[in-house]
């Protein structure tokens, strides 16, 4: 791999009393202030929101899905049109994942060996084969600023033996990805695994730190384990990663996660939660999620949240938003999505400002004292239902 001259990371502030830090990631398509929340644009689009609206909402990083873009429209098409930035009309920084999580979620359609992953497309059933080298080639064709190694996302629960086998294969694939990567204007992140076994997480952190990647992603968490277990894994992992490299917690990003995991040293979050719950009529508020389908909002003239400056809250009542959702009008999904993204992006800005001012611990305590976190069993059922939809079940 050529020396990366277009990418840099610097820490500009730290929080007393926690591991939280503020930084800046420099990329060819602009700076990313950290900690940062990246809206998920699976098919090179954040569902129902235009790139201009994302910019107005304050997004500074978008994550697209390598697996889905590989299948449709194909990396060659995207490359022929100038790469993913002009293709999707977003000129800010972009990250593409490796497809590892999709391999995990579509387990009934795939087979894994040392060479890579053989799977059947969820679109047409055609057989496909992805190796670490091919995943890097696809991401180089797509042209995102930040890209990820192919990994195996170990399920939960999982035996230590299976977690260790997945870890060995993930490490082997990471070495091959690093060797295959050629573009000096992209930063390749390694993905740590290890399941819920502290010693394996420590081993993975040391392994990737020794390979000196430009950044590190922590995978295989928020796959069914408790929040407490996730935090324990971060506590043993983060201290072993280089201080001068960004840390990305893959697929994690509920409001409480932004505080609790930033406090544990995470710099980058991505999650489809804000857009996914919007499609079900749920809105984030400072007190917790508000389900607009509840009949109590039928004639409620109030906005979703008093004081919120998003377009939905500034212009529409709960009654109208409930009407749109119940009538299955597209505008209802769009307004819910814009509100939820505004909430998450604004909260992340508040967190960063609080780190820089030394007030992060106080802000975290204040927020979590009034925010009602979704019950673990409810979250588990919701996640299982989501995975079943991904698998076509």
DSSP state of 295: G
Give per-residue pLDDT as tens, 24-55.
Answer: 999 999 999 999 999 999 999 999 999 999 99
Count of C-beta atoms within a 10 Å radius of residue 334: 19
Q: Are 25 and 246 in contact (CB under 8 A)?
A: yes
101: phi > 0 → left, psi -120 to 50 → alpha, else beta; which?
A: alpha
Q: Collect all residues with Cβ–Cβ distance below 8 Å to 386 and sequence separation of at least 6.
A: 276
pLDDT, residue 122, reads 83
Q: Which of 97, 151, 166, 257 is catalytic?
A: 97
Q: What is the mean pLDDT of residues 7-26?
A: 98
Give per-residue pLDDT as tens, 322-373.
Answer: 999 999 999 999 999 999 999 999 999 999 999 999 999 999 999 999 999 9
Backbone φ and ψ of 358, nearest 5°: 85, 15
Residue 1: pLDDT over 50? no
300 is catalytic: no
Q: Collect all residues with Cβ–Cβ distance below 8 Å to 65 and sequence separation of at least 6.
A: 40, 41, 42, 43, 96, 97, 99, 102
pLDDT, residue 102, reads 75
Q: Is 361 helix (H, G, I), strand (E, B) or coil?
A: helix
Give per-residue pLDDT as tens, 130-171.
Answer: 999 999 999 999 999 999 999 999 999 999 999 999 999 999
Task: Give me the residues paired with residue 41 across strands.
Answer: 64
pTM of the predicted model as reported, rounded to 2 decimal places: 0.95
212 is catalytic: no
Q: Is 271 helix (H, G, I), strand (E, B) or coil?
A: strand
99: phi > 0 → left, psi -120 to 50 → alpha, else beta; which?
A: left
End-to-end CA distance of the chain, in Å?
Answer: 41
Q: Domain residue spans in the chain? A: 13-272, 278-370
Q: Could you give the C-alpha distances from 362 to 14, 327, 369, in angstroms and in order? A: 14, 42, 11
The HSE-up count of residue 164 (CA atoms within 13 Å, CB side) is 5
Give per-residue pLDDT as tens, 86-142.
Answer: 999 999 999 999 987 776 677 777 889 999 998 888 889 899 899 999 999 999 999
Residue 80: pLDDT over 50? yes
Please determine, looking at this structure, whether the domain spanning 13-272 carries the CATH number 3.20.20.105: yes
What is the percent of the chain with per-residue pLDDT over 70, rounded to a whole number? Answer: 93
Q: How far apart are CA 164 and CA 132, in angstroms?
A: 19
Pair of tokens at residue 64: 């697209």
DSSP state of 238: G
Q: Which of 166, 257, 270, 359 is catalytic?
A: 270
């Amino acid at each position: 791999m050529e020396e990366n001259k277009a990418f840099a990371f610097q820490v500009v502030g730290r929080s007393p009393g926690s591991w939280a830090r503020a930084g800046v990631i420099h990329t060819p398509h602009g700076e990313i202030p950290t900690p940062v929340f990246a809206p998920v644009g699976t098919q090179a689009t954040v569902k129902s929101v235009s790139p201009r609206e994302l910019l107005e909402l304050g997004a500074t990083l978008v994550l697209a899905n390598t697996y889905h873009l590989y299948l449709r429209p194909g990396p060659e098409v995207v490359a022929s049109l100038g790469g993913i930035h002009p293709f999707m009309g977003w000129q800010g920084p972009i990250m593409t994942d490796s497809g590892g999580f999709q391999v995990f979620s579509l387990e009934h359609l795939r087979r894994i060996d040392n060479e890579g992953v053989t799977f059947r497309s969820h679109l047409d059933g055609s057989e496909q084969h992805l190796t670490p080298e091919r995943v890097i080639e696809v991401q180089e064709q797509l042209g995102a600023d930040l890209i990820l190694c192919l990994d195996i996302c170990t399920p939960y629960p999982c035996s230590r033996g299976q977690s260790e086998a997945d870890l060995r294969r993930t490490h082997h694939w990471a070495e091959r990805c690093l060797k295959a990567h050629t573009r000096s204007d992209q930063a390749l992140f390694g993905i740590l695994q290890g399941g819920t076994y502290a010693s394996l997480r420590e081993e993975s952190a040391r392994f990737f730190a020794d390979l000196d990647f430009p950044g590190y992603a922590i995978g295989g968490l928020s796959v069914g384990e408790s929040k407490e277990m996730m935090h324990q894994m971060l506590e043993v992992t983060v201290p072993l990663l280089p201080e001068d490299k960004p840390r990305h917690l893959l697929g994690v990003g509920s409001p409480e996660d932004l505080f609790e995991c930033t406090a544990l040293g995470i710099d980058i979050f991505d999650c489809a939660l804000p857009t996914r719950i919007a499609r079900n009529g749920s809105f984030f508020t400072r007190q917790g999620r508000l389900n607009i389908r509840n009949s109590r909002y039928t004639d409620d003239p109030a906005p979703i949240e008093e004081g919120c400056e998003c377009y939905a809250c500034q212009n529409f009542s709960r009654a109208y938003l409930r009407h749109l959702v119940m009538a299955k009008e597209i505008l209802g999904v769009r307004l819910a999505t814009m509100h939820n993204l505004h909430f998450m992006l604004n909260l992340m800005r508040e967190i960063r400002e609080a780190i820089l001012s030394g007030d992060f611990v106080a802000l975290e305590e204040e927020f979590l004292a009034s925010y009602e976190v979704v019950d673990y069993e409810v979250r588990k059922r919701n996640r299982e239902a989501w995975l079943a939809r991904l698998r076509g079940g």
